[in-house]
Amino acid sequence: MIKMTKPYLSIVIPYYNAPDNLERLIASIQKSKGAPPYEVIVVDDGSEEELKVKSEKLKVIRLKKNRGPAVARNRGVAVARGKFVVFLDSDVEVFADTLANIASVFRDDPDVVALTGVWVKDQRSRSFFPNFKALRDWSYWINERDKSGYYFLFSTRIAAIKRSVFLRLGGFDETYPAPLVEDIELTYRIARRYAIIFAPHVRVRHEFEEFWPIAKKYFLRAYYWTKLYQKRKKFDPVATTWQEAITTISGVGVVAMGLMSLIGPIRQICFMGLLGAAVVHIFLVRKFLAFVYREKGLVFAVKSFFVGLLLYCFIFAGAAWGRVR
């Protein structure tokens, strides 16, 4: 009789109708070096076709209908055998040292119960917006983050937590039917008792979408985050700091004053308002603009400024709609 080694890490992946992405992720996991014993649990969230990916360390759970990633992840953790659970989205790829680095964080400090990693800034696509989004996120996490904040977003693109703690906290809130703010809501519950360690050497690759899918996600996340804010009544380094809120408002002010200065009856006053809002907004996004200038040059930085204004409008609209509803 062969004795099965108990895994140290249980990798839980929610999956829905994207076999090519999942195959790349599984292949990247199999190339891991120095990883502790692990298992991979894929939760098929009611896909139209059954999975065909095969691996000796892969276990597939199939849900009868699409319930959303919160439900899928909870079902995966329920059957996990590892001491720690690693959450990965199905559209990322891990690096060869990702699993080893996760294990080293937990082994080096037994008091750590949760960590979050980062997705790298490089994109295979040469299209502007995926590169803009990757640089925007990287700058947010690495250059602009509130260093005094004692916890970070438990981002399920790459995050890990002690399984017993996850179960004691009740897992993800299953009332969210889509990838909305279930990670933010869980972050708040973890942070009431524990710090979430940001581990920049725990990396994944993520290929971003074009403008409209991301803009829609920004709108919806702002809408649902506003509801969380109404309960907590405070900003935080998890999702939105007070400075980020002011940045959003100033960005919307630039767009509004710009339009009014073109078509409004009081163009001169609006133009002065435009200049004031622009000065404030440029000051608040200066670190990001300097970063993308170094990475991609002046044209990319200028284009990033204006695309960022559009995204702030979507965020503001989602937050405003959340307040109205």
In this predicted model, what pLDDT tens digit does every residue of 266-316 receive, in sequence order?
788 888 899 999 999 999 999 999 999 999 999 999 999 999 999 999 999
1, part of any domain: no
Q: Please answer whether residues 79 and 162 qualify as being in contact, where contact means their C-beta atoms are separated by less than 8 angstroms.
A: no
Share of the chain above pLDDT 70, in %: 95
Is there a single domain that holds both residue 120 and residue 268? Answer: no
Taking residues 249-253, report their average pLDDT: 97
User: Cα separation of 122 and 101, whole Å?
Assistant: 20
Q: Is residue 250 part of a domain?
A: yes
For residue 128, give the CATH number of its domain.
3.90.550.10
258: Cβ contacts below 8 Å, ≥ 6 apart: 274
Q: Phi then psi for 190, rounded to 5 degrees?
A: -65, -45
Final residue before a domain boundary, out of 162, 189, 209: 209
Residues sharing a CB contact under 8 Å with residue 121, sequence separation 6 or more, in sequence order: 134, 135, 137, 138, 295
The enclosing H or E element of 312 equals helix 298-324
Q: Is the predicted pLDDT of residue 93 greater than 80, yes or no?
A: yes
pLDDT at 160: 98
> Residue 261: inside a domain, yes or no?
yes
Residues 70 and 151 in one domain: yes
Q: Mean pLDDT across the chain, nearest whole number? A: 92
Say if residue 174 is in the same domain as residue 284.
Answer: no
2 pLDDT above the threshold of 60: no
- Sheet-wide strand order for 84-88: 58-62, 38-44, 9-15, 84-88, 158-162, 114-119, 197-206, 92-94
- Per the structure, how many domains does the chain have? 2
Full residue range of the structural domain in which residue 26 is found? 9-209
Cα separation, 76 vs 7, in Å, equals 14
